[in-house]
Structure 1
Amino acid sequence: MSAQIPASPSPAPEAPVASAPGPRAAALQKVFAGALSSSIRANSYANFSSCFPTPAKYCPSALEGVWKQLNTRLEEECMRDFEKILEERQVIEGLNQWDNMIEEARRRKNRAVEGEEPPRPLHTLSADELHSAHLTPYLQQAQDELGSKVHSTQAENATIFSKITEQRAEIEQLLSGLDRVIKDIEGSVDAIYTDEQSGFGELKGDVWTTEQELAATR
């Protein structure tokens, strides 16, 4: 059996051609308008009236009106015919397509000079590549949003930890002061108890002495 030759990728579809005049179509319209205006100006009233000397002598105003109407009609007819030719021959679309081809060739040339590889046609990409191409922007956006939230949460946690540290230091300071107060109170209680025990012993001795004296006198 002969080896099966892999089919070559089909060419990418051509980009749609804009109907609005591109650079070359606009330049063509500008050149035609300039040439027509120059031709109309060449048909001056002096040249026109020289062809009709009698009306120019006896009714110059009427002749001048005819000259203006003739120039206006000539300009309108020329522009109408020009636009009709552009439409029938699809000149604007053709020139726009030419602009696109030249621009695409320029981009390919620049990529070749810079060493960049031309983009692959979409129909040659695998399902995984297409799936990744569609999901990557959304995943990147989600990652950026998540990173922003994590950064904000970390900043809030740092602020809370700082407040907790300050409150803990205040609590430790209060407990230390409370310990000193408790020790002072305990010392005072011990001193009072010692004084009371000493006075009770003396009182007991006095009572014993008095009882002995009374017993001796009986």
Structure 2
Amino acid sequence: MATTTITTTTTHSPSPPPSPPPQPPTLSLPGPRATALLSLYNDAIAHLLKTLTYPHFAACFPTPSFAVPGSMKALHAQFTAKLGEQLHAEFDRLVEEREAVGALNGLDGLVEEARGRRERAERGRRETGGEGGAAVPPHTLPPRTLYLSHLAPTLRRYHAETQQQSEGVRAENVEILARIQKQREDIAARVAGLEQVVADVDACVAALRPEELEVLREEVRGVDEGMRMEV
């Protein structure tokens, strides 16, 4: 009797590929920030309607509330329901007009992308054994460093202009100081000349004898009186 040998071959299936990273939320479905905004507004509307109780509503209409309380309670229920519908409809209209969901989803995508870049950069630094002189990603820098790097060219230009203006003012001040010093020297020379003239006059007066001085005074009086008579 022949014996048949059956050989089974085991085939190992390849390992499944790694799952792709989660995609950012689409423009139609609200992402985390859009969901948080919608939830916050819904909670605000619910809190507003909760504070609008029937006693507060009835206090605004005391006579009908006393006369027909049942109708006023029904009116209060209709009013709060209608108000809630209008608030939700108005908010939905604004969200649609401003495309708030799409904008917030785009912001979520940017945040996720930045987070992924930071994680990849940190992973690369760890794999290379530390900083190693690698360039620092701009989004990891502190705000002060970022705005100073943007303002550095403008600040350098203003510094150069200010320094140039300061040098011009300094040169002008030196020129004005030299002119003032020259004027002071001229004034001092003129004062010295006047003092010399006064000294000469005093010496001449001191050299005259009393009788000559009296004669000179008489002549001066005569000249003065003659000039007054002519006038």
Task: Report the TM-score range of the alignment, normalised by the length of the smaller protein.
Answer: 0.3 to 0.5
Structure with the bigger percentage of helix: 1
Task: Give the alignment's TM-score, normalised by structure 2.
Answer: 0.43
Q: Determine which structure has greater relative contact order: mean sequence separation of CA pairs < 8 Å that are 6+ residues apart, divided by chain length.
A: 1
